[in-house]
Structure formats: C-alpha cells, structure tokens
Amino acid sequence: MTESKEKMNHIKLLFFATIRDRAGTKSMEMDIPADMTILQLKEKLGTDYPNLKESMKSVLITINREYAFDEAIVPSSAEIALFPPVSGG
C-alpha cells in the first residue's frame, strides 16, 4: 500500500502590531505542505483566519529574520514573522 501523505513542514508564525491584534495571539505553530510559498501561506492564513484576510494583502513577511517575497518557498522549521506595512514620513 503506497502512502500518499505529502511531506509537511512545521513552522512557527509570529504576529506583530495590528496583525497580532487581528490574530488574537502573538504566535502559533502549524504544519504546511513542504513546497508552500509565502503567497500560498498568506492565502491559507486569510482563509483560515478571516480577520487576517485584509492584512495579508499588504503584510511584510520575514523568514528566519530575512525579508521574503511571495514566491519564496517556506523552509522546514522556519520562523515566519508578519508585520503590518510600515508607514512613515
């Protein structure tokens, strides 16, 4: 019998500022598919947590403390931080 279970990565999410308020928590851990991109992760968070959907359109994300773009693959055991866009003048 072949096992069709896809490989999963365990990641930690850290929420900051207004995103933390909307998430209702400062951090969470989850398992995601091994080949998930940042864009797919944002879509998943927006679907699983409707309060975050609007934030995911303009969120800044880091993977292990380095800025990441939508096409980046989320590595195993990654620490993903989500920040609201920084406004300044």
Query: What's the token pair of residue 21?
Result: 């308020």
Taking the C-alpha atoms of residue 52 and residue 48, their distance in angstroms, rounded to an integer, is 9
Which positions of the chain have pLDDT values less than 50?
Answer: none
pLDDT, tens digit (0-9, with 9 covering 90-100), for 51-68: 999 999 999 999 999 999
* Confidence (pTM): 0.89
Residue ranges per domain, the chain?
A: 8-75
DSSP code per residue over 9-29: EEEEEEE-HHHHHHHTSSEEE
- CATH code of the region 8-75: 3.10.20.30
Q: What is the maximum alpha-carbon separation in the chain?
A: 61
